[in-house]
Structure formats: C-alpha cells, structure tokens
Structure 1
Amino acid sequence: MDQEKLNKAIILRSMLDTDLNAVSRVLDIKDSVLGDCLKSIVRNDEEFRTKFMQLVHDTYDRLKKEFDEL
C-alpha cells in the first residue's frame, strides 16, 4: 500500500470510528465534539460536504419561507 492510500485509509477509519459514531449520537454529545466531528467529515468527504451544504441551503430556504409567511 502506498503512502497516499495509507493516509486515506487512516482518515476513513478515523471518520468511521470517531466522527460518524459521534454524529450518530447527536443528542448525547457536547456541542464542541459535534462541531469538531462535522468539521472533520466535511473536510475529508467531498460527497458529504456537497450534500450537507445542500441540506443547509434547503433548510435556510424553508425557514425563510415560513418566516416570510408569518
């Protein structure tokens, strides 16, 4: 295994063991831990980053629409 693959494997293992596990327990963990885990996933997984940002934009648009209707 070359160095690049090894580094990617280490990042993926960390995201699986630490970050995604913590995020899955979102209601039970401290805000700073949640933020750090999300930041790590967003930095290291382009597909997650794209989908997460789309979710953020969709949520913003939905809440703005609800607010405007009030």
Structure 2
Amino acid sequence: MDEETLNKAIILRRMLDTDLNVVSRVLDISSGVLGDSLKSIVRNDGEFRTKFMQLVHDTYNRLKKEFDEL
C-alpha cells in the first residue's frame, strides 16, 4: 500500500470511528466537538461537503420564505 492510500485509509477510518459517530449523537455532545467533527468531515469528503452545503442552502431558502410570509 502506498503512502497516499494509507493516509486516505487513516482519514476514512477516523471519520467512521470518530467524526460520524459524534455527528450522529448531535443532541448529546458539546458544540465544540460537533463543530470540529463536521469541519473534519467537510474537509475530507467532497461529496459530503457538496450535500451539506446544498442542505444549508435549501434550509436558508426555506426559512427565508417562511420569514417573508410572516
């Protein structure tokens, strides 16, 4: 296994073992830990980053529409 593959495997393992577990327990953790975990996942997983940003964008638009209707 080359070094690049090994590094990717280490990052993926950390995201599986730590970051995604933290995010899945969002109601039970401190905001600092949640923020750090999300930052790590966003930085290391392009697909997650794209979907997360789309979710943020969609949520913003939905809340803005609700606000405008008030």
TM-score between the two structures when normalised by the length of structure 1: 0.99
| In structure 1, distance between residues paired with 2:48 and 2:21 | 15
1:19 deviation in Å? 0.1
Structure 1: stretches of 5+ with no match in the other structure? none
Other-structure match for 1:35: 35
Instruction: Give aligned pairs, total.
Output: 70
CA distance in 2, matches of 1:17, 1:30: 18
1:18-70 CA deviation, whole Å, 9 max, x = no partner? Answer: 00000000000000000000000000000000000000000000000000000
- Write out the 4+ residue segments of structure 1 that deviate beyond 2 Å after TM superposition: none
**Structure 2 counterpart SS, 1:22:** helix
The RMSD of aligned alpha carbons is 0.2
- TM-score after normalising by structure 2: 0.99
Percent identity reads 86
Alignment of 1:1-70 (within 5 A): 1-70=1-70
Shift of 1:6: 0.1
* Structure 2: gaps of 5 or more residues: none
Q: For the residues of structure 2 that align with 1:68 and 1:22, how far apart are their CA atoms?
A: 35
